[in-house]
Structure 1
Amino acid sequence: MRSYFALALALVFATDVQAQDRLKVVTTFTVIADMAQNVAGDAADVVSVTRPGAEIHGYSPTPGDLRGAIDADLILWNGLNLELWFEQFLRNLGDIPAVTVSDGITPIPIAEGAYEGRANPHAWIGADAAMIYVDNIRDALSAADPANAATYAANAESYKAQISAVLDPLRARLADIPEDDRWLVTCEGAFSYLARDLDLRELYLWPMNADAVGTPQQVRRVIDTVREHDIPVVFCESTVNTDPARQIARETGAAYGGELYVDSLSEADGPVPTYLDLLRVTAETVVNGLTAAR
């Protein structure tokens, strides 16, 4: 009997030691956390500072967020002026290696507003840019944990193939829609990289959630453009007020195509619990809306 309990205690102890030996990676928001966990597999533990469904532009970190990140081995963040709150948070953490996962992308500049001329930070919503994110995550994990570099490399290649598989069929469906009808109208200008990937013209109410949102001037400008180009469908982002987009649909006769996901994953039982789900649901909603409106 004692030998059985001794073996059980040894297994528990070994499991605890193994867990303690795993790399701890902290990310700023859930999308990067899920991407990083897919690259890490079982070799590292990944957590997100912000929770599912959070609006990340103006997030206010809590003391609990700081306590949860203080023992991290590696920090991953988006950069490109997305996490406006993060630089102070990072300074409070002390000397922990931090990697900007958007490094190396070809940025799309914001066309207007307070951030005019700066890079649009929502690059992960485009699959082409997401490949660079995955490579940067792979390299960051490998540098922090060289013993598992081969695992990270294999997982990254598998994950990139899954990302490609999400958008490739949708690109083929869009090829049947006349070029003049390929418009992506949204609340926030957060979908520029997806629009570039899918060869869509983009129109939005406001450029960044950190700016003024849903003003009468913004609504009127989009209404006029929707009417001018006879745009058949409009969408909005899941984490903001959808009323302005619905007003545009009512006043122009366009269809309201539903909510798109970009900044945050949902809970496990929600519509977009993973990044692959977020990319698929968002792109399918756009393509289905454009197809139905023909």
Structure 2
Amino acid sequence: MRTAVVRSGAIVLVAVCVLTLSACVGKRDRNDSRLTVLTTFTVLQNIVAAVAGDKVRVESVTKAGAEIHGYEPTPGDLRRAADADLIIDNGLNLEAWFKQFVDRLDAEHIVASEGVTPIPISDDAGAGKPNPHAWMSPLNVQIYVDNIEAALSELDPEHDREYRKNADTYKAELQQVHDRMVAELAAIPQQRRALVTCEGAFSYLTRDTGMSEKFIWPVNAEQQGTSRQLQSTIDFVRANNIRAVFCESTVSDAVMRQVERATDAVFGGTLYVDSLSESDGPVPTYLDLIRHDSDTIVKALTEGGTQ
């Protein structure tokens, strides 16, 4: 009930801000004439920035380290959205919270994941809906890049060649990261090539790399990890003699630590999915995120975890 009240309050604030838009929208920096693109989370912001280069100011609604799934938008978010030239979200039901006001604005809006073949969620309340974490596949992100490049070129045709060049360069880097990840994970014996995580955020990565997967809960929610889900994960780890288990940076690893204590597995380390780190952290860019996760998984499944 409290969550519903808070969410309703946020919607009311946003609605008030929409009705008084002239008072809510701040002025853009007069010394910066660049176009402004607003993205919903830091991973997407970095991908867009790789295509945009220095011709566009790219911002994110959420900050580094934030949980994206249950985010509550604020009137401050509306101010930035109303002043943006283009709004880009991930889609695939990731940012249902954003739709409450984006449709009220005049800014152009695209969905980065348009054209990606979704993997359906197989369990829990979200069963049958698309798994939203399509960016965990560098191959999917190549599709994101094509969508972003097309939108930027239409919005700013004067610099379309630069956007296309940036997109081609970045897609080549994405392919290199994918190829390296596949090669390193392929070196692990098939019976040990299983990824056990807190959230089911790695379905696209495991599909692309030939890994099996097991997770405690499908998508981050307020109550994470039922006793049934916990026991199912423990049984999987025991039955398959899994060497290491993992959890994501934006949620507590307490439940996965219970799996560790109940089995012979060790905690393999923290993986990044929904958010980048600060610039001085371990994953300041999307490419760093994929490299970090791949290296962490390979090291733990080969040598053991971080404890």
TM-score (norm 1): 0.91
Greater Cα shift, 50-59 or 284-293? 284-293
- 2: distance between equivalents of 1:30 and 1:235? 22
The Cα of 1:190 is off from its aligned counterpart by 0.5
Alignment of 1:209 onto 2:220: yes
Taking every aligned residue pair, what percent have the same amino acid on both sides?
54
The one of 149, 157, 166 equivalent to 2:160 is 149
State how 1:82-161 maps to structure 2 within 5 Å.
82-92=94-104, 94-161=105-172
**2:149 touches 2:163 (CA, 8 Å); kept in 1?**
yes
Partner-residue secondary structure (3-state), 1:46: strand
The one of 48, 66, 69 equivalent to 1:54 is 66
Alignment of 1:172 onto 2:183: yes
Amino acid at match of 2:158: A
Question: Which residue in 2 is equivalent to 1:263?
Answer: 274
Amino acid at match of 1:19: D
Q: CA RMSD in A?
A: 1.6
- 2: distance between equivalents of 1:119 and 1:213? 19
Question: Which residue in 1 is equivalent to 2:3?
Answer: none
Amino acid at match of 2:151: A
Alignment of 1:200 onto 2:199: no
**1:206 touches 1:212 (CA, 8 Å); kept in 2?**
no
TM-superposition CA deviations, 1:72-111 (whole Å, max 9, x none): 110100010001201013134x111100000101111100
Question: Which residue in 1 is equivalent to 2:78?
Answer: 66
TM-superposition CA deviations, 1:260-282 (whole Å, max 9, x none): 00001111111111111111111
Amino acid at match of 2:102: L
Change (3 A) 1:197 1:191: same
Question: Which residue in 1 is equivalent to 2:26?
Answer: none
- 2: distance between equivalents of 1:103 and 1:87? 16
Alignment of 1:285 onto 2:296: yes
The one of 56, 78, 82 equivalent to 1:44 is 56
The Cα of 1:131 is off from its aligned counterpart by 0.7
Amino acid at match of 2:200: G
**2:269 touches 2:296 (CA, 8 Å); kept in 1?**
yes
**Unaligned 5+ residue runs, structure 1?**
1-15
Partner-residue secondary structure (3-state), 1:85: helix
- 1: distance between equivalents of 2:149 and 2:257? 41
The one of 23, 30, 38 equivalent to 2:35 is 23
TM-superposition CA deviations, 1:206-243 (whole Å, max 9, x none): 00003641222111110011111111110001100101
Alignment of 1:272 onto 2:283: yes
**2:139 touches 2:178 (CA, 8 Å); kept in 1?**
no
Alignment of 1:187 onto 2:198: yes
Asked which structure has the greater CA Rg, the reply is 1
Question: Which residue in 2 is equivalent to 1:242?
Answer: 253
**1:127 touches 1:197 (CA, 8 Å); kept in 2?**
no
- 2: distance between equivalents of 1:109 and 1:155? 32
TM-superposition CA deviations, 1:99-146 (whole Å, max 9, x none): 000010111110011110111000001111111111111111111111
- 1: distance between equivalents of 2:288 and 2:274? 13
Greater Cα shift, 182-191 or 60-69? 60-69
- 2: distance between equivalents of 1:17 and 1:210? 41
Amino acid at match of 1:91: D
Amino acid at match of 1:190: A
The Cα of 1:18 is off from its aligned counterpart by 7.5
